[in-house]
Amino acid sequence: KHQVLEKEIHDLQAAEQQLDDLIQMCSLTGCTSAYVTCQDLRSIADPSEQMVIVIKAPPETQLQVSDPAETFQVSLKSAQGPIDVFLCPED
Amino acid sequence: KSRILVSIGESFGTSEKFQKINQMVGSSDRQLKRSAEESTTPKPLKRL
Amino acid sequence: AQECQNLEMEKQRRIERIKQKRAQLQELLLQQIAFKNLVQRNEQNEQQNLGPPALNSTIQLPFLIVNTSKRTIIDCSISSDKFEYLFNFDNTFEIHDDIEVLKRMGMSFGLEAGKCSSEDLKTAKSLVPKALESYVSDMCTGSSWVNQGLLLSST
């Protein structure tokens, strides 16, 4: 049983290493054409019924949602730069 | 009280936290200010 | 017996970590496919329209969106340096990150739901490194390889 377990752990070790290598491959490179249009947002949130707020925040910005039983509150706190917030125009 | 904190720009797991927030907010039993008037809860985003 | 017990615990820990890493790889694959599909679409549009759309009509990734009913009243406080915002809603809302928006836009070909046409599968596979193509095919057939395979090793 000891030998079987050692073999299984060795196989799992190899499987985990392979996954780590594959995860490393999945890096997203920045690109100027990586944007959505307001039209895209309107295609998934009906502007006649929905309001869409867009938030552009620096990395590590802390977003905190309070307990909804008390209040519907969202706070944003950045440490690396200003946060931009705007409404997606209806048309 | 339970609050959920998300660090924006985390490489992984943010989506799950937002799903949890949306479930928490959507299912909260807090009386909406105008729930009596009309069901104004936001319709979920469409999936094209 | 004690050593076997330790090995058994080590094995379970590894199986759990592998499951998490497979889920992470699946999510990263979806992100990569959606992201590259979006870039391809934008570049095609830019060629057709002889240039990018107006700057104030585009939202560069990464971003978040908060959507709520139009009837919601939102009280928003902003610090003078725009480092802090506080939103109070009188109604429920939803928060989504940019990848979720791309998925809703269909940029990941429905792979997250295990549904994808053969044509879309071909396109999706062309957007990822060769070593990952088989994982994309598995996602398409809905066979969640996140848990697959481990059962063999665990038995």
ipTM metric:
0.82
Per-residue pLDDT of chain A (91 residues; tens, 9 = 90+): 999 999 999 999 999 999 999 998 887 777 789 999 999 999 999 888 899 999 999 999 999 998 888 888 999 999 999 999 999 888 7
C69 shares contact with chain A (CB less than 8 Å)? yes
A15 shares contact with chain C (CB less than 8 Å)? yes
Q: Residue C7: its chain A contacts at CB < 8 A?
A: 2, 5-6, 9
Say yes or no for a CB contact (<8 Å) between C93 and A72: yes
- Output the six-digit token pair for A65: 């949602």
Minimum distance, in Å, between the CA of residue B20 and any CA atom of chain A: 11
Query: Measured between CB atoms, which of B18, B38, B47 is closest to C97?
Result: B18
Query: Measured between CB atoms, which of B2, B6, B46 is closest to A63?
Result: B6
Query: Measured between CB atoms, which of C64, C68, C99 is closest to B42?
Result: C68
Q: Which residues contact C139 (CB under 8 A, 6 or more apart)?
A: C26, C29, C30, C111, C112, C114, C116, C145
At residue C151 the predicted structure's pLDDT band, cuts being 50, 70 and 90, is very low
Question: What is d(CA B41, CA B2) in angstroms, rounded to the nearest whole number?
Answer: 22
Question: What is d(CA C153, CA C21) in angstroms, rounded to the nearest whole number?
Answer: 16
Residue C65 and residue A57 in contact, taking contact as beta carbons nearer than 8 Å = no
Q: Residue B22: its chain C contacts at CB < 8 A?
A: 94-96
pTM of the model: 0.85
Q: How far is CA A49 from CA A6, A15, A32, A33, B39, in A?
A: 60, 48, 31, 29, 12
**Burial tier of C73 (Cβ tally within 10 Å: 0-12, 13-18, 19+):** exposed
pLDDT over 50 (residue B34): no
Chain B residue with minimal CA distance to C25? B12
C99 shares contact with chain B (CB less than 8 Å)? yes
Q: Residue B5: its chain A contacts at CB < 8 A?
A: 62-64
